[in-house]
């Protein structure tokens, strides 16, 4: 659920950071057949690829990309307004190594990202959908873990952070059932998201899991 209430107008020059939205079927959960994304062509180089699914206001992806210009960052977001908002911020920041796409992260990882092509996948503070009848809307399930595992290079890592203990327990159960990740402590050079800064200020505990593809 998106709570960003400000009106967003995409600046024309910022449109170059946004990939065309894939055509979908099945209410957006399945992409129509197309070739996998060519990251070297997309970014104009063969630098390592990292992906953030659900980048929100973009604090992490922009600061991370600014600090590491030799990395290429792809941000996937289901809310169009946030895609436009973050594209404007990328333009203002003057960085060239970020691209954004408005689509379902699970479907895009599964159907467009080449297998064994990504160094790290980042998922930070996704909506916990706390009511049991809404669990099916949670991004974490066996299908998503399979899509992440497929996209990662051997030894690639997956960061999952949340402030919601029940969601973290739910995630842990799915991770253990999936069984193809090893726990790891190599968090990488992490920049707190806007949500994390807010939650820490409120005294909430942050639950973190870093996994390595085996």
Catalytic residue among 35, 38, 127, 143: 127
**Which residues are within 8 A (CB) of 29 and not within 5 positions of it... i.e. 6 or more apart?**
104, 106, 107
Describe the crossing of helices 142-151 and 165-178 by its angle, rounded to 10 degrees.
60
Which of 87, 159, 81 shows the shortest CA–CA distance to 126?
A: 159
What are the phi and psi torsion angles at 30 (to 5°)? Answer: -135, 135
Tell me whether residue 166 is one of the annotated catalytic residues: no
Residues marked active site are found at: 127
């Amino acid at each position: 659920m998106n709570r960003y209430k400000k009106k967003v107008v995409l600046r024309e020059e910022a449109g170059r950071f946004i990939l065309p939205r894939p055509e979908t079927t099945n209410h957006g959960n399945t992409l129509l057949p197309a070739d996998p994304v060519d990251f070297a062509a997309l970014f104009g180089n063969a630098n390592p690829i990292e992906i953030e699914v659900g980048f929100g206001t973009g604090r992490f992806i922009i600061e991370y990309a600014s600090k590491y210009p030799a990395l290429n960052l792809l941000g996937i977001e289901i809310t169009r307004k946030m895609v436009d908002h973050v594209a404007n911020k990328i333009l203002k920041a003057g960085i060239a190594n970020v691209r954004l796409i408005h689509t379902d992260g699970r479907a895009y990882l599964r159907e467009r990202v080449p297998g064994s092509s990504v160094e790290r996948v980042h998922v930070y503070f996704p909506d916990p959908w706390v009511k049991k009848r809404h669990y099916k809307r949670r991004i974490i399930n066996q299908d998503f873990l399979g899509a992440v595992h497929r996209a990662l290079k051997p030894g690639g890592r997956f960061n999952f952070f949340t402030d919601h203990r029940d969601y973290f327990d739910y995630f842990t159960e799915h991770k253990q059932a999936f069984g193809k990740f090893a726990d790891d402590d190599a968090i990488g050079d992490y920049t707190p998201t806007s949500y994390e800064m807010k939650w820490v200020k409120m005294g909430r505990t942050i639950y973190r899991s870093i996994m390595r593809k085996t």
